[in-house]
Amino acid sequence: MTLVRHGRRGRWQDKRVVLRQRGVSYRTPQRVPIALFYADNDWLIDTEDVKRLYHLLPNVVDMYDVPWSKFNHFDFMWAKDASKLVYDRIIKIMRRENPNNITSVE
């Protein structure tokens, strides 16, 4: 949990709560390409938050809802089909966005 404080004398709060309350605008110093990957069965995120984030970030190149209804947070790392469902798409995006800066995995 990340804590943030309101003003100089404000109380400390969970950063996630503060971000939701304020509708914080995300600022990135550079316009790096950003890809958002999410799953409807992921209990750690709310798909509506991902959609809101999509509109707040300056350079989203892909927003991908993993097409498996049982895919959850751990599956991004541990699913047997993670390569087909997620990793192949990540590599494709990286090659497309910066073709000279990725080591070939083929």
User: What DSSP assignment string belongs to 72-99?
Assistant: -TTHHHH-TTHIIIIIHHHHHHHHHH-T
pLDDT, one tens digit per residue, over 39-82 is: 999 988 888 888 988 888 888 999 999 999 999 989 999 999 99
Residue 37 has a pLDDT of 96
> Can you give the pTM of this predicted structure?
0.67
Looking up tokens 């073709």, which residue turns up?
99
pLDDT (mean) for 71-97: 92
| Number of helices followed by number of strands (H, E) in the chain | 5, 4
- Using only C-alpha atoms, the chain has a radius of gyration, in whole angstroms, of 17
The answer to whether residues 69 and 85 touch, using CB atoms and an 8 Å cutoff, is: no
Residue 68 has which token pair?
Answer: 């498996």
Instruction: Parse the chain into domains and list their residue ranges.
Output: 28-97
